[in-house]
């Protein structure tokens, strides 16, 4: 008599379902195998914000990586994981994805920038592991796909990269969380854990947000550049923007348009107020953004920036203006030029003040640097969040990054310019 396999869920609902099925089969005279042979998904990890801190211990450095690994381990049998990423150089995470696929029939779909494989000196094993287990056919339910060499998946130009850093989980923890979006600034590479300050936000149960990311993910894999156009979507406390965006002037710069919405000084029954713009940003090399930040400071906004890279034009625009403070983070903390510096790799902006006519607090986060390619050439995602607890968490993280920044205000050095 043939045996049957049953998955025994860790949760009561799953145990009762398995028991009920066994009783039905027993009544029909069908034998039942003993221990379950399909691994159960782990419990769902927390939703919300998570930040890595390279100045902390191993747990602090790996906080984002560990949350992603926990979500992969919690992906339910038959569910779907989607990942769009610039660089995946982590063997353990690649194996986590394969294990979910093989042990729990999770559909795993991954889109990577081609440089995740071709960069000189990197470990090709993570990609090869995924390729062997998933294949490369995007018409299949599981696959790993590379953008074309030397260009992004969607830009009609000849350059660009797939710089995205997001994951989607259809169901985790036995259905405890569904339609989960992870938007992070972190690649899955060792230096992103141990040397770079990064941020992430994990959102569950927002159908509009999950659907918008999912639609964009499908377009990335298809690489139909002729059909692509800049897209955004509203989703309650969230608004997400997907790049690249065509155009040549500041009027089609999403960040410039955002800053135009900030009213720097206003008066109400409680008195006079001043808006505050804070940013922790890897690259500020888009002149229109730097000029707009300077203009906002001149209008009366307080502007507080922690950055790691500018160029001559943007550095000059961001200095010599009242109420505009800059701190560079390019720290060779181990005095070894062969190892990466500690930097701020986040792409976060916080606005506390009057925005689009309302007094509010906003967070913008994602993969989008304030650079020219991030706007016009790269595949990027950026999300605006109005949830108060998210703002508080990002502000606390900004305060820690600001305090750690080195050389800090002494940023008139080649590494910062």
Over the stretch 149-208, which tens digit does the pLDDT of each residue have?
999 999 998 889 999 999 999 999 999 999 999 999 999 999 999 999 999 999 999 999
Predicted local distance difference test score (pLDDT) of residue 37: 58
Residues 88 and 126 sit within 8 Å (Cβ to Cβ): yes
Which residue, 225, 178, 163, 232, is CA-closest to 41? 178
Q: Which residues pair with 350 in a beta bridge?
A: 278, 363
Residue 365 Rama label (left phi>0; alpha psi -120 to 50; beta): beta
> Mean of the per-residue pLDDT values for the chain?
92
Predicted local distance difference test score (pLDDT) of residue 395: 98
Q: Write phi, then psi, for 89 (nearest 5 degrees).
A: -125, 40
List, in order of start, the domains of the chain with CATH numbers. Answer: 1-38 (no CATH), 48-228 (3.30.870.10), 243-416 (3.30.870.10)
The residue-averaged pLDDT of 290-299 equals 98
Q: Is the pLDDT of residue 105 over 90?
A: yes
The residue-averaged pLDDT of 42-48 equals 96
pLDDT per residue as tens digits for the range 299-309: 999 999 999 99
The residue-averaged pLDDT of 6-23 equals 39
Predicted local distance difference test score (pLDDT) of residue 157: 87
pLDDT per residue as tens digits for the range 300-348: 999 999 999 999 999 999 999 999 999 999 999 999 999 999 999 999 9
Task: Name the pLDDT band for 95 (thresholds 50, 70, 90).
Answer: very high
Q: Is the pLDDT of residue 280 over 90?
A: yes
Torsion of CA 166, 315, 317, 356, to 10 degrees: 20
The residue-averaged pLDDT of 93-104 equals 98
Residue 89: how many other CB atoms lie within 10 Å: 21
Which residue, 242, 257, 268, is CA-closest to 356? 257
Predicted local distance difference test score (pLDDT) of residue 162: 98
Q: Is the pLDDT of residue 406 over 50?
A: yes
Which residue, 360, 354, 385, is CA-closest to 239? 385
Distance of CA 53 to the CA centre of its chain: 16
């Amino acid at each position: 008599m043939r045996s049957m396999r049953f998955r025994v869920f860790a949760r009561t609902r799953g145990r009762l379902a398995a028991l009920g099925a066994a009783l039905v089969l027993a009544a029909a005279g069908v034998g039942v195998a003993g221990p379950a042979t399909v691994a159960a998904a782990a419990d769902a990890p927390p939703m919300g914000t998570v930040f890595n801190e390279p100045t902390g211990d191993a747990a602090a450095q790996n906080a984002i990586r560990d949350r992603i690994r926990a979500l992969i381990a919690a992906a339910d049998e038959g569910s779907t994981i989607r990942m769009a990423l610039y660089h995946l150089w982590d063997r353990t995470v690649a194996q986590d994805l394969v294990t979910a696929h093989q042990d729990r029939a999770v559909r795993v779909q991954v889109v990577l920038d081609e440089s995740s494989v071709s960069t000189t000196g990197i470990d090709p094993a993570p990609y090869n592991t995924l390729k062997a287990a998933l294949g490369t056919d995007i018409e299949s339910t599981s696959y790993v796909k590379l953008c074309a060499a030397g260009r992004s998946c969607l830009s009609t130009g000849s350059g660009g990269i797939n710089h995205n850093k997001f994951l989607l989980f259809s169901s985790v923890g036995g259905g405890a969380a569904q339609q989960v979006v992870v938007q992070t600034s972190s690649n899955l590479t060792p230096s992103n854990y141990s040397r770079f300050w990064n941020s992430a936000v994990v959102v569950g149960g927002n159908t509009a947000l999950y659907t918008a990311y999912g639609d964009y993910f499908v377009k990335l894999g298809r690489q139909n550049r002729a059909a692509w156009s800049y897209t955004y979507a509203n989703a309650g406390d969230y608004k997400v923007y997907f790049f690249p965006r065509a155009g040549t002037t500041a009027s089609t710069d999403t960040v410039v348009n955002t800053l135009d919405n900030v009213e720097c000084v206003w008066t109400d029954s409680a008195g006079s107020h001043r808006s505050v713009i804070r940013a922790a940003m890897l690259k500020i090399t888009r002149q229109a953004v730097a000029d707009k930040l300077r203009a906002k400071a001149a209008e009366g906004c307080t502007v507080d920036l922690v950055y790691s890279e500018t160029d001559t034009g943007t550095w000059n625009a961001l200095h010599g203006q009242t109420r505009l403070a800059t701190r560079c983070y390019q720290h060779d903390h181990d005095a070894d030029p062969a190892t990466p510096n500690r930097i701020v790799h986040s792409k976060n902006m916080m606005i506390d003040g009057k925005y689009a006519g309302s007094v509010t607090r906003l967070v913008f986060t994602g993969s989008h640097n304030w650079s020219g390619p991030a706007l016009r050439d790269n595949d990027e995602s950026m999300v605006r969040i109005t949830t108060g607890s998210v703002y508080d968490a990002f502000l606390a993280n900004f305060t820690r990054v600001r305090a750690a920044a080195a050389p800090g205000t002494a940023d008139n050095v080649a590494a910062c310019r």
